[in-house]
Amino acid sequence: MPSDFPDIDEAISDTLETFETNLEPPTKDEIIRAIKSLKNNKAPGIDNISPEMLKADPKLISGKLNLIKISCFDPLPAVADQNS
């Protein structure tokens, strides 16, 4: 391979070394900030929820999304009981 091309393996390893993943669930404040940062006048998604609808009451919405977050990030009680 010509020497003027970068070494792809080196580029990948450099990228992987600097890439950090946060596996912690988002906090309620992070959810509120994310809702507030949504751009207005965008088409709703498949759920027909527009950014304006979410931004109408970010605290209420973040509470509802927090319930979803809990079910996604917290272990199921049945699984936790089996591990005890």
pTM assigned to the model: 0.59
The one-letter amino acid at 27: T
C-alpha 36/C-alpha 47 separation (Å) is 19
Question: Domain limits of the chain?
Answer: 26-79
What's the rounded mean pLDDT across residues 7-11? 72
Residues 43, 49, 50: CA angle, nearest 5 degrees: 45
Q: Which of 34, 37, 31 lies closest to 73 in space, CA to CA?
A: 31
What pLDDT shows up at residue 56?
95
What's the rounded mean pLDDT across residues 26-48? 92
Mean pLDDT (the chain) is 79
Residue 8 has pLDDT above 60, yes or no: yes
- pLDDT band for position 25 (cuts 50, 70, 90): confident
What pLDDT shows up at residue 13?
67
What pLDDT shows up at residue 51?
94
DSSP state of 70: H
Cβ neighbours, 10 Å, residue 74: 10
